[in-house]
A and B are shown apart, each in its own frame.
Chain A
Amino acid sequence: MSEAAAAVSWLLHQTEPEARRIAVHQIAKVEGREACELLLRALGDDDWRVRKEAATVAPVLEQREETVATLVAALEDDFNIGLRNAAVEALVAIGPDAVGATIEALDRIDEDARKLAIEVLGGVPDARGTAALASALGDEDENVRAAAAEALGSAAMAGEESRALATHALASALLTSDAFLKIAALDSLARLDAQLPWSVFEPCAKDPLLRRYAIAAAAGSGEPAAVSALARATGDSSPTISREAIVALGDLIARGPDDDSFLDRVRADTQSAGCANARRAVRDAEDPRARGGALLILGLLRQEEDVGALAEALGDDEVAERADLALRLYGAAAAAPVLAAARAARPSVRAAALAFTASLEGANVAEVRAALREGLEDDSLDVVASAIEALGPLGDASDLRRVASLRSHADERVAATATSAVSEIAARHVDAARALLEDSSLGEDPLELGCVLLGAIASTRALDDRDVTLLKRALSHHHSEVRRAAVDALAQAGGDAAADAVVFALADEEHEVQLAAARALGRLRRPEALIGVVADTRDPVFAGTALRALGDADPARALASARPLVTHPDPAMACAAVEAIGQIAVSRGSGHPPANLVMASEDALFAALDHADPEVVKLALSLVGAEPGPRALARMGLCLDHSSWEVRRLAAELLGQDGGAGAEGLLRARYDREKDPTVRAAIGSAVSLRPPSDYPRSSEGSEGPGAERGTKGGH
């Protein structure tokens, strides 16, 4: 025995499990067959922590083929169950290299070992494995058949073809008389999000033993008959079945909130028992999935007695998005009862209710405004801020003065929100803004408010000379807030006079004023001053602001200034440049940038992908991956090999979003080599994304064509 092996062997004999666990890590330093033997000992250890550690070491051993053969043989060990289970974990950790030998073994090992081999194939996304599992659905042993069905639930991670093969095989299994097999098959079909006709599931839905699983799986069907069955199943007397139906129906509603015929069907087929079960589920804080589904169902059913519960859920982050959607499904009639219910609720609910009703299409504006004005007097600053924010787009002329008075509030969030809201209201009610401008009784120093009001007025009509004079005077004010407001207003006013006045503000001693001046010069189309800033400053925030402003004024010159900075050793400067370039490349608004500019921007972002700091790389990758072309895909693929796991994960997510065959190929190739569990999970998730389909998408559709449907059941 070699010295290294002897040392490990000695440690593996120690009584202290921690010592044995540490010994496991030394196995990788042992060469040849001895390493496999020591690994086997560790995998068969009495202590689960030692076995677990050994499973993670298995992929690291150099003698891969021998290791796999040893582990596959261990599946047949009749005496040590711990060893057999640990061998499964180790083979899964090894990955695709273990698949071939495992498949070969299926023909010669007994049923207990075959079941374990099936678990290995289920844990390694591989098309060969999927085919073997499909065959194993016909195994003579019922436990092996059921295990194969369960394992096929993960087939999507091996790609679309595997998913299709698994779906077909599992659907065939539903025609057998093997109840355990059918249960496992249905569960896997749910996890695969299989889009099969309702006729496949209907016979199982009539079987009391299979009904629950059939209901969960049927959500993928999408056919009207399936939807009706789900809706009726929400009223099932079995809590388990009704829960599955509520979750599945909720997911379907969330995906298709604009499909009126679908929603009408759900509404018509959900009976009173379903409504009662949904009400119970809404109160179950321990089951957010059922709660979210129940909220949507109740929103759809539009019964006023449920509005209180829906409003309450607005204040709960776990289900707030579902509650919001549920109330929108309810419609404009929800506004008044939501406001009434929220009055007695906790502050987070009151604030959310105000924000919601203010954005609800068709709500009675007068009623909402009244509630918002009442909210301005609330004890909770969360509610006050929410009310102010909502009054921005909704307030009328009479609200201008009362919101303006809150600009001097001690809470910075309330004050900032009030400033923003004043600007919005003033832009719509210029006469009221003018009247307020003349009123010098507001606040300690009305000049700041004056600048905000003039900026708002300037967004809709030209300022007169008197206004511009006032703004120029404000540029010399001793308070930086006034100077900043003046700069913002002059940017809105436009014109050479305004631009000339703002240039000097680049030299202001206050950072916030400098930044405001940079932004303003972008809108005023004064690139020269900004180019100077970028060239001279060492402040990354200032550089970034100036570059983005330069992008507004002159994209080509902005790119020329930013390009050298993407490789700047200071990651902050590099990030500022990358962001500015990203903005140039995707700039919308008045028109698309010329193709050469887009290509040059892309090249600059590619250069940033080689930066030493992972944060710069991630930012560039994020921008490259937003709308990747063919060149970008190749570069994103290279990022899958980056030393930083965060970069690799981001690359995986972005490639998954692409959904194309090229991206999938890059992902699968990386999956085989990836050792980091977080990145592996991201890759696995990315390759299991469904391709774009005709299925209606939810508001999450902005995620991209490959929006994740997630796995169900045991996920």
Chain B
Amino acid sequence: MRRGTSPGDGTPLKPDEYRLLRDLFASRAGLDFGREMRFAVERRLRERLMVLNLANFAEYHRYLRFGAHAAAEWDEAIDLLTTNETYFFREERQLRAFQNELLPMLRDMARPKRRLAIWSAGCSTGEEAYTIGMLVRQAGLFSTGTGAEAERSPAQGPAQGDGSEKWDVRIYGSDISRRCVAAARRGVYGESSFRTTPPDVRSEFFTGCRGAWQVSESLRQLCHFGQMNLLDDDRLHVVGSVDAIFCRNVLIYFDARARRTAIEHLYERLNPGGVLLLGHSESLLNVSTAFELLHLRDDLVYRKPTSAPGPPTT
């Protein structure tokens, strides 16, 4: 069996070129590409050689490092390498624990200021951030007084707390990919994003739009999106202080160094007593941190100790 000629066979990604690119993406974006990803990286980046009229990937590496438009090209490369398909209500068990056990706890913690902030760090095309918004709405614990209570599911009944207890609820979604953030802002999704979403929930929070589904205005108002690199401490300050962070299936793409740095940054952004939720296959084992383990009925999450200092204000 032989491989036939394929387009781009003249510009393969050679092992030494792959190493150089691998190191570059690791040092700047924390992305950890193993040997098995060479095929995928070659496939995804090859089009950039054509667009930029470059002869090979060695030139592309140099372009990313020293080219006149390196910054813009960096965004393109990251867009191509980090676009991951995701969907609403992913890892449902954890989300159930979040809604049933953590939201009440966070409400009690945040009640003095009546402000709830949740950050979806690595939100991809926005499904996770909007999912969190839906869970917050469905829980009925935080009245935002924006008329969105009319959209509450009948099964929920009236919101808890009296009507004067208006909350400032913000859900931040960030991703390193500019294209993903733009897609999240647009809030229009195809069927594959709803593969585990009950139809009634979809109808409650989305409206049909030319074969796709658009997020409702009340849900959109809760969510704010921005392009951020979890390794870039300066930019992350704009998030301010948050009560919960979702960072699921993001750290698995980082090498050990980058993972530690990212976790430190997330820790800094959390209010004391705030929680960090990771993907089901992720943990903070071998990462020296000050997080505590919080055992829930249906899940295990990490919590910043209540005695720890809050996020720096600069």
The answer to whether A and B come from one shared complex is yes
Q: For this complex, into which size category does the number of interface residues on chain A fall?
A: 35 or more
Q: How far is the CA of A53 from the CA of B289 in the complex (A)?
A: 11
The answer to whether A650 touches B288, judged by C-beta atoms less than 8 angstroms apart, is: no
User: Out of B27, B36, B62, B288, which one reaches A544, CB within 8 Å?
Assistant: B62
The answer to whether A416 touches B20, judged by C-beta atoms less than 8 angstroms apart, is: no
Q: How far is the CB of B116 from chain A (nearest CB, A)?
A: 28
Contacts of B7 in A (CB 8 A): 355, 358-359, 389-390, 392-393
Q: How far is the CA of A575 from the CA of B65 in the complex (A)?
A: 10
Taking the complex as formed, is B47 at the interface, i.e. its CB lies under 8 A from any CB of chain A? yes
Taking the complex as formed, is A350 at the interface, i.e. its CB lies under 8 A from any CB of chain B? no
Taking the complex as formed, is A310 at the interface, i.e. its CB lies under 8 A from any CB of chain B? no
Of all chain B residues, the one with the shortest Cβ separation from A645 is B257
Contacts of A572 in B (CB 8 A): 65-66
Taking the complex as formed, is A704 at the interface, i.e. its CB lies under 8 A from any CB of chain B? yes
Taking the complex as formed, is B16 at the interface, i.e. its CB lies under 8 A from any CB of chain A? yes
Assuming the contacts A321-B40, A359-B3, A541-B68, asked whether A576 and B47 have C-beta atoms less than 8 A apart, the reply is no
Contacts of B192 in A (CB 8 A): 346
Of all chain A residues, the one with the shortest Cβ separation from B35 is A708
The answer to whether A412 touches B51, judged by C-beta atoms less than 8 angstroms apart, is: yes
The answer to whether A359 touches B5, judged by C-beta atoms less than 8 angstroms apart, is: yes
The answer to whether A329 touches B1, judged by C-beta atoms less than 8 angstroms apart, is: yes
Contacts of B104 in A (CB 8 A): none
Q: How far is the CA of A579 from the CA of B39 in the complex (A)?
A: 24
Within 8 A of A (CB), among B48-100: 50-51, 53, 58, 62-63, 65-68, 85
Taking the complex as formed, is B43 at the interface, i.e. its CB lies under 8 A from any CB of chain A? yes
The answer to whether B16 touches A626, judged by C-beta atoms less than 8 angstroms apart, is: yes
Contacts of A318 in B (CB 8 A): 36, 40
Within 8 A of B (CB), among A308-346: 317-318, 320-321, 324, 328-329, 331, 346
Taking the complex as formed, is B37 at the interface, i.e. its CB lies under 8 A from any CB of chain A? yes
Q: How far is the CA of A237 from the CA of B170 in the complex (A)?
A: 51
Of all chain A residues, the one with the shortest Cβ separation from B255 is A678
Of all chain B residues, the one with the shortest Cβ separation from A572 is B66
Q: How far is the CA of A403 from the CA of B268 in the complex (A)?
A: 53
The answer to whether A18 touches B290, judged by C-beta atoms less than 8 angstroms apart, is: yes
Contacts of A362 in B (CB 8 A): 4
The answer to whether A413 touches B68, judged by C-beta atoms less than 8 angstroms apart, is: no
User: Out of A317, A359, A622, which one reaches B4, CB within 8 Å?
Assistant: A359
The answer to whether A321 touches B290, judged by C-beta atoms less than 8 angstroms apart, is: no
User: Out of B5, B65, B68, which one reaches A393, CB within 8 Å?
Assistant: B5
Taking the complex as formed, is A385 at the interface, i.e. its CB lies under 8 A from any CB of chain B? yes
Q: How far is the CA of A348 from the CA of B84 in the complex (A)?
A: 11
Contacts of A708 in B (CB 8 A): 35
Q: B6-40 vs A: 1/0 string, CB under 8 Å?
A: 11110000111001100100010000000111011
The answer to whether B66 touches A317, judged by C-beta atoms less than 8 angstroms apart, is: no
Taking the complex as formed, is A202 at the interface, i.e. its CB lies under 8 A from any CB of chain B? no
Q: How far is the CA of A622 from the CA of B14 in the complex (A)?
A: 11
The answer to whether A320 touches B16, judged by C-beta atoms less than 8 angstroms apart, is: no
Taking the complex as formed, is A269 at the interface, i.e. its CB lies under 8 A from any CB of chain B? no
Q: How far is the CA of A257 from the CA of B1 in the complex (A)?
A: 7
Q: How far is the CA of A346 from the CA of B84 in the complex (A)?
A: 13
Assuming the contacts A321-B40, A541-B66, A704-B15, asked whether A389 and B290 have C-beta atoms less than 8 A apart, the reply is no
Of all chain A residues, the one with the shortest Cβ separation from B48 is A413
Assuming the contacts A321-B40, A413-B47, A511-B68, asked whether A575 and B62 have C-beta atoms less than 8 A apart, the reply is yes
The answer to whether B2 touches A512, judged by C-beta atoms less than 8 angstroms apart, is: no
Contacts of A413 in B (CB 8 A): 47, 50-51
Contacts of B6 in A (CB 8 A): 355, 358-359
Contacts of B238 in A (CB 8 A): none
Q: A523-564 vs B: 1/0 string, CB under 8 Å?
A: 000000000000000001100100000000000000000000
Within 8 A of B (CB), among A224-281: 257-258
The answer to whether A417 touches B288, judged by C-beta atoms less than 8 angstroms apart, is: no
Q: How far is the CA of A579 from the CA of B60 in the complex (A)?
A: 12
Interface of B, secondary structure class, is: helix
Of all chain B residues, the one with the shortest Cβ separation from A488 is B53
Taking the complex as formed, is A211 at the interface, i.e. its CB lies under 8 A from any CB of chain B? no
Taking the complex as formed, is A45 at the interface, i.e. its CB lies under 8 A from any CB of chain B? no
Of all chain B residues, the one with the shortest Cβ separation from A354 is B7
Of all chain B residues, the one with the shortest Cβ separation from A545 is B59
Q: For this complex, into which size category does the number of interface residues on chain B fall?
A: 35 or more
Contacts of A653 in B (CB 8 A): 19
Contacts of A625 in B (CB 8 A): 16
Contacts of B50 in A (CB 8 A): 389, 413, 416-417, 420
Taking the complex as formed, is B256 at the interface, i.e. its CB lies under 8 A from any CB of chain A? yes
Assuming the contacts A328-B1, A361-B4, asked whether A52 and B16 have C-beta atoms less than 8 A apart, the reply is no
Q: How far is the CB of A480 from chain B (nearest CB, A)?
A: 12
Taking the complex as formed, is A702 at the interface, i.e. its CB lies under 8 A from any CB of chain B? yes
User: Out of A618, A699, A702, which one reaches B15, CB within 8 Å?
Assistant: A702
Q: How far is the CA of A420 from the CA of B15 in the complex (A)?
A: 25
Q: How far is the CA of A291 from the CA of B4 in the complex (A)?
A: 25
Taking the complex as formed, is A97 at the interface, i.e. its CB lies under 8 A from any CB of chain B? no
Taking the complex as formed, is A508 at the interface, i.e. its CB lies under 8 A from any CB of chain B? no
Contacts of B256 in A (CB 8 A): 677-678
Contacts of A677 in B (CB 8 A): 256
Of all chain B residues, the one with the shortest Cβ separation from A417 is B50
Q: How far is the CB of A705 from chain B (nearest CB, A)?
A: 12
The answer to whether B40 touches A317, judged by C-beta atoms less than 8 angstroms apart, is: yes
Q: How far is the CA of A700 from the CA of B39 in the complex (A)?
A: 10
Taking the complex as formed, is A619 at the interface, i.e. its CB lies under 8 A from any CB of chain B? yes
Taking the complex as formed, is A49 at the interface, i.e. its CB lies under 8 A from any CB of chain B? yes
The answer to whether A328 touches B3, judged by C-beta atoms less than 8 angstroms apart, is: yes
Assuming the contacts A329-B1, A416-B51, asked whether A650 and B65 have C-beta atoms less than 8 A apart, the reply is no
Taking the complex as formed, is A78 at the interface, i.e. its CB lies under 8 A from any CB of chain B? no
Within 8 A of B (CB), among A327-386: 328-329, 331, 346, 348, 352, 355, 358-363, 385
The answer to whether A618 touches B20, judged by C-beta atoms less than 8 angstroms apart, is: yes
Q: How far is the CA of A401 from the CA of B305 in the complex (A)?
A: 67
Of all chain B residues, the one with the shortest Cβ separation from A16 is B307
Q: How far is the CB of A368 from chain B (nearest CB, A)?
A: 11
Of all chain A residues, the one with the shortest Cβ separation from B51 is A416
The answer to whether A541 touches B3, judged by C-beta atoms less than 8 angstroms apart, is: no
Contacts of B5 in A (CB 8 A): 359, 393
The answer to whether B257 touches A678, judged by C-beta atoms less than 8 angstroms apart, is: yes
Taking the complex as formed, is A464 at the interface, i.e. its CB lies under 8 A from any CB of chain B? no
Q: How far is the CA of A532 from the CA of B213 in the complex (A)?
A: 60
Of all chain A residues, the one with the shortest Cβ separation from B6 is A359
Q: How far is the CB of A297 from chain B (nearest CB, A)?
A: 15
Contacts of B15 in A (CB 8 A): 702-704
The answer to whether B66 touches A699, judged by C-beta atoms less than 8 angstroms apart, is: no
Q: How far is the CA of A359 from the CA of B292 in the complex (A)?
A: 53
Contacts of B35 in A (CB 8 A): 700, 703, 708
Contacts of B36 in A (CB 8 A): 318, 321
Q: B160-188 vs A: 1/0 string, CB under 8 Å?
A: 00000000000000000000000000000
Contacts of B58 in A (CB 8 A): 579
User: Out of A389, A650, A702, which one reaches B8, CB within 8 Å?
Assistant: A389
Q: How far is the CB of B89 from chain A (nearest CB, A)?
A: 16
Q: B280-314 vs A: 1/0 string, CB under 8 Å?
A: 00000000101000000000000000000000000
User: Out of A352, A512, A541, A623, which one reaches B53, CB within 8 Å?
Assistant: A512
Taking the complex as formed, is A306 at the interface, i.e. its CB lies under 8 A from any CB of chain B? no
Contacts of A622 in B (CB 8 A): 16, 19-20
Of all chain A residues, the one with the shortest Cβ separation from B50 is A416
**What is the interface of chain B, defined by CB distance below 8 A to chain A?**
1-9, 14-16, 19-20, 23, 27, 35-37, 39-40, 43-44, 47, 50-51, 53, 58, 62-63, 65-68, 85, 192, 255-257, 288, 290
User: 4 tightest CB-CB pairs across the interface, nearest first?
Assistant: A359-B6, A361-B4, A317-B40, A321-B39
Of the A-B pairs whose beta carbons lie under 8 Å apart in the complex, a sample of 11, sorted by A's number, is A18-B290, A49-B288, A321-B39, A352-B43, A361-B4, A390-B7, A544-B62, A575-B65, A619-B20, A703-B15, A704-B15
20 further contact pairs, Cβ within 8 A, besides A18-B290, A416-B47, A625-B16: A53-B288, A320-B43, A321-B36, A352-B43, A359-B4, A385-B47, A392-B7, A413-B47, A416-B51, A511-B68, A540-B66, A541-B62, A541-B63, A541-B66, A575-B65, A575-B66, A579-B62, A622-B20, A626-B16, A653-B19
